[in-house]
Chain A
């Protein structure tokens, strides 16, 4: 996924470069799908269709958006994806209720499947195996006890809760850097 996606889209709109605009939009698809899966639906195909509808609409509107100073792509994109999804849900519900109630665990797994290829999953395991035992036990406990409250965290690690979060953040950053070698 390109790191300069928003810059690319803004530049495309400023310079009225449609090709660059399309390129930027294409690299935004995963973000839009992950956003919808994180809160509103567990159906990847449905989320994907909604995002693609928004992108098609944006491409059609390119001429009117081009040169506009007050267009903020990211907030527009997020709102448009959600509205598209809600509107499609309403339409679908007239015939049959296709959308299940949102399940957080399922949605995280669906997003994981979408964002990580098989090789990247292997690489994640490899990165985890490179942590020392202490770091691994620390991070494993935190992720296996996501609902642990302040007192439980402090009691388990014998650290103030802020230090726990800092330490976790540091380890996640190490892993993030390791993962980035393969993405």
Chain B
């Protein structure tokens, strides 16, 4: 039936066949999801110079998402915890928060010529984005255990794994990975992200007292913070 859906979109079917395919689509939600994806790809990918547009718009988009996520978090982190019961929404949220993966992909492509390593990282990233939590944890764990890479790469691996643990509500492990990541990195941007994530974990664990004192410590430290980052940390500290 899938090739017929392709033909439907390409306009290769006659009237009777179109009706038959749509009768099947109506009966099979999976087929409709496939049709919908194909329509999206047909329109998006037929635009010329698509790849460049994606890269450009993605980076802008991530900034927007990061800003929006921070705003949402500062307004109602508790509300988010409640909505996390909806597994799909939760996974989507985590995927949004995984904007670090973008920089990580760029970073490791500069640092590593090892195609096996690169392909494993891509697999782990894809698993995380697809919500295959256990798979992603196993992949990151294998990479960390066998890692022969410098501290900055390892710090990013720990940080990414902490996001997966967070998605899996394993806050202890998430926090422990964040601590390791913080001890390994000298990168200010990553440090800021780790600080945020640590605060998120503490709040998710309902360790409000600890979160508050940690937030106060952050504000007093020499961390380079943007306005929105400072606002978020302040909202925890107050």
Contacts and interface: CB of A to CB of B under 8 A. Distances in A.
A177 B22 CA distance: 22
Interface stretch (A12-20, A49-57, A123-131): A123-131
Interface stretch (A62-70, A89-97, A107-115): A107-115
Interface string B27-57: 1010011111111111111100011001101
Nearest to A173: B34
A165 B3 CA distance: 9
Nearest to B40: A124
Contacts, number: 126
Contacts of B23: 74-75, 78
B195 interface: no
A172 to B, nearest CB: 6
Which of A5, A28, A140 has the most C-beta atoms of chain B within 10 angstroms of its own C-beta? A140
A78 B50 contact: no
B49 to A, nearest CB: 11
Contact of A128 (B38, B43, B54, B92): B54
Given A38-B18, A140-B45, A182 B92 contact: yes
Interface in A134-183: 136, 139-140, 143-144, 146-147, 165, 169, 172-182
Contact of B126 (A74, A115, A122, A130): A130
B61 A125 contact: yes
Nearest to A137: B51
A105 B18 CA distance: 16
Given A39-B18, A143-B46, A172-B41, A122 B129 contact: no
Which of A75, A78, A105, A181 has the most C-beta atoms of chain B within 10 angstroms of its own C-beta? A181
A132 interface: yes
B37 A175 contact: yes
Contact of B38 (A35, A78, A144, A172): A172
Given A108-B39, A122-B61, A31 B44 contact: no
Nearest to A141: B45
A109 B107 CA distance: 36
A82 B44 contact: no
Interface residues of A, number: 57
Contacts of A126: 58, 61
Interface of B is mostly: helix
Contacts of A115: 36, 39-40
Given A39-B18, A181-B88, A74 B122 contact: no
A146 B91 contact: no
B54 A176 contact: no
B25 A143 contact: no
Interface stretch (B6-14, B74-82, B139-147): B6-14
Q: Which 7 A-B pairs have the closest CB atoms?
A: A143-B45, A3-B29, A74-B26, A104-B11, A112-B43, A176-B37, A35-B22
28 contacts: A5-B29, A35-B25, A38-B8, A38-B18, A39-B18, A74-B23, A74-B27, A77-B26, A112-B43, A115-B36, A115-B40, A124-B41, A126-B58, A128-B54, A130-B125, A140-B45, A140-B50, A143-B45, A143-B46, A144-B45, A146-B10, A172-B41, A173-B34, A175-B41, A176-B34, A178-B129, A179-B37, A182-B92
Interface of B: 2-3, 8-11, 15, 18-19, 22-23, 25-27, 29, 32-46, 50-51, 54-55, 57-58, 61, 88, 91-92, 95, 119, 122, 125-126, 129-131
